[in-house]
Amino acid sequence: MRIGLSFSELESRTDQALDRFEEEFGVSMYDTWYLSFWDASDVSDSDNSSQVLDGLREDCSWTQTADNEIVFGWADDLDHNGIAYLNGFYAVGSENPTHPFDWPEKSVAQHEISHNFNAPDHGYFGPYCIMTYLYAYIGVDKWCSDCWDTVYGNIWIVEIALKQTLIFYLMKWWLSYE
């Protein structure tokens, strides 16, 4: 099993994803990390991405109090690279998935946060876009024009009401660290 990332590595890879939203959509992104508030293991199957996502929402709803706030949870090993609520406020990523294709962390964050802004999955093969699994896997950080329009529209619906900032609460939970 791969050794987990240091916190500073994970933070910089997450920031790479947040930077893409700032560059493309003209939005300010603020991120706050909480390293010991979330326990991802309190679900019946702690590798199950869907259960862990529901668990994040249940455990961390205290942070999510406005439409410009998104909560992203990093866990160690899950059965997918990540999962998110479509057009929602919560997403999780796996640093070290048991899934056979381990995407770069920046791709996981960019892809899952895009789901929160209602961009759909394109499947394994599709347009040159972060929402196509193949391109996420090889680290492409572009959106196709359809996804770009979707994310842009969703961000700015929120932002017009909320002072042009998006706030990210980033939760970190390492299941298997000693």
Residues that bind Zn ion (CB under 5 A): 121, 129, 131, 144, 147
Closest CA to 14 of 143, 177, 171: 171
Q: What's CA 129's distance to the chain center, in Å?
A: 16
What is the smallest separation between the CB atom of 114 and Zn ion, expressed in angstroms?
8
Closest CA to 178 of 3, 42, 19, 29: 3
User: Whose Cβ is closer to Zn ion: residue 37's or residue 146's?
Assistant: 146
Q: What's the closest the beta carbon of residue 177 comes to Zn ion, in angstroms?
A: 26
Tokens 């962390």 -> residue: 105
Residues 6+ apart with CB under 8 A from 64: 70, 71, 89, 90, 169
Q: Which is nearer to Zn ion, 56 or 144 (CB)?
A: 144
CB of 151 to Zn ion, least distance (A): 9
Give the C-alpha separation, 92 to 109, whole Å. Answer: 8
Query: Please, what is the minimum distance in Å from the beta carbon of residue 126 to Zn ion?
Result: 7
CB 38 within 8 A of CB 172: yes
Per-position DSSP letters for 113-149, written without gaps between them = HHHHTTPPP-BSS-SSSTTBHHHHHTT-----HHHHH
Q: Which is nearer to Zn ion, 131 or 171 (CB)?
A: 131
Residue closer to Zn ion (CB basis): 129 or 170: 129
37 or 79: whose CB is closer to Zn ion?
Answer: 79
Q: What's the min distance (Å) between Cβ of 137 and Zn ion? A: 12
User: Rounded CA gap, 56 and 47, in Å?
Assistant: 13
